């Protein structure tokens, strides 16, 4: 027997900063095995669990993927229960949603021909999305099935709040700026290396401000953020490095955008990396309708939202092309904060909601767009 709160508390108690998820993945694989999953750690390091009920001919005709991420950002928060909340790094982002996935799928009555895959993906917080990129082409398969295929639906494990689902996320691009010059006297006319980096940053901000003039909301805007500026001098040469992250709305061509940002840097070196375009799924899909129905049945007024961050939805959404949303317990405003905590009641509530969603999705599976079985 796997007790829900114990599962989450123990998972949160295992540090799993991006790139160091192995112990937590091993723990989760063992707990999934206790719950009846066929579970394993794949080549990317993801914790993967499979539940399936083949039909009378041994076929799988309806498949869903529930993908959370098992890694966290750095920062130790004492794991404790206080005032009805579980505190700890990852409770909200995103071990709470992942644990809810594991428990809900295990309690779902599978109709003949159904497969559910639960994955705890690695390196989502590291901007590499290593786990999601691997799963795009390596879903668990029976003999004769292709690993590279699209499921019938996907739920991404991110905090949305108990009464909401997330339809989309902005894209992201990281820029590293580097400039070096011969050392000069501070009283001279030469602009300091640090000042040149600041000038470039101000140009990036002005570029975004111009782009955003006619944008209706934050989701449609360019949102640059200066992560750091560092200077160095060896007595002969002054140098400066800076890192900027830009959250990118739908419709922006990344190649053109990169060229514009490079041009603003004049002669300095600028490198763009970890770029991913924005992704927004449709509002009127069978998966959204099922979630909305379940939330209404449970007394909520469903909310459909988009977020200004980036998630593994940006990776798998455009490649699988299936109905997709993000859902999970927790307040996303607590992501990455020293006060990260999850209300225990809402965690249990999310498990119940997910069970109902998975069972109702099976009931209306004919409404889902056929992808690879038919």
| Contacts for 185 with CB less than 8 Å, ≥ 6 apart | none
Among residues 22, 26, 27, the alpha carbon closest in space to that of 9 is found at 27
Sign of torsion, CA 31 37 40 46?
Answer: negative
CA distance 98 to 89: 14
* DSSP string covering 298-324: TT---EEEEESS--THHHHHHHH-S-E
Query: What is the DSSP code (8-state) at residue 169?
Result: E
Query: What is the DSSP code (8-state) at residue 100?
Result: H
Among residues 101, 128, 106, the alpha carbon closest in space to that of 45 is found at 128
Give Rg (Cα) of the chain. 23
**Known catalytic residues?**
71, 124
Q: CA triplet 314, 318, 322: central angle to 5 degrees?
A: 110
CA distance 113 to 135: 21
Q: What is the largest CA-CA distance in the chain?
A: 85
Residue 270: CA count within 13 A, CB half-sphere: 23
**Distances in whole angstroms, Cα of residue 32 to Cα of each of 68, 139, 306, 341:** 14, 17, 31, 24
């Amino acid at each position: 027997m796997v007790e829900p709160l114990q599962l989450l508390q123990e998972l949160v108690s295992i540090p799993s900063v991006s790139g160091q998820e192995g112990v937590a993945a091993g723990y989760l694989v063992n707990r999934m095995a206790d719950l009846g999953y066929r579970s394993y750690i794949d080549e990317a390091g993801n914790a993967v669990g499979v539940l399936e009920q083949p039909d009378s001919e041994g076929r799988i005709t309806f498949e869903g993927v529930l993908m959370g991420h098992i890694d966290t950002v750095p920062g130790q928060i004492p794991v404790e229960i206080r005032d009805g909340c579980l505190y700890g790094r990852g409770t909200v982002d995103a071990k709470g949603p992942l644990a809810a996935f594991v428990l809900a799928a295990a309690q779902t009555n599978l109709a003949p021909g159904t497969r559910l895959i639960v994955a705890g993906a690695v390196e989502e917080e590291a901007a590499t999305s290593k786990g999601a990129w691997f799963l795009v082409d390596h879903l668990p398969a029976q003999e004769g099935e292709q690993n590279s295929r699209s499921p019938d639906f996907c739920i991404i494990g991110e905090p949305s709040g108990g009464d909401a689902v997330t339809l989309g996320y902005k894209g992201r691009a990281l820029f590293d700026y580097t400039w070096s010059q011969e050392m000069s006297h501070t009283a001279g006319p030469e602009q300091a290396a640090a000042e040149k980096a600041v000038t470039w940053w101000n140009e990036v901000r002005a570029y975004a401000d111009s782009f955003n003039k006619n944008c209706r909301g934050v989701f449609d805007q360019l949102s640059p953020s200066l992560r750091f500026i560092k200077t160095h001098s060896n007595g002969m040469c002054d140098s400066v490095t800076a890192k900027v992250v830009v959250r990118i709305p739908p419709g922006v061509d990344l190649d053109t955008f990169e060229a514009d940002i490079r041009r603003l840097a004049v002669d300095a070196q600028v490198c763009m990396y970890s770029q991913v375009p924005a992704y927004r799924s449709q509002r009127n899909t069978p998966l959204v309708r099922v979630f909305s129905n379940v939330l209404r049945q449970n007394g909520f007024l469903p909310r459909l939202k988009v977020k200004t961050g980036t998630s593994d939805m940006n990776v798998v959404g455009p490649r699988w092309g299936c109905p997709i949303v993000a859902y999970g317990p927790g307040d996303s405003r607590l992501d990455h904060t020293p006060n990260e905590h999850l209300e225990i009641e809402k965690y249990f509530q999310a498990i119940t909601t997910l069970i109902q969603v998975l069972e109702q999705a099976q009931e209306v599976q004919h409404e889902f767009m056929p992808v690879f079985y038919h």
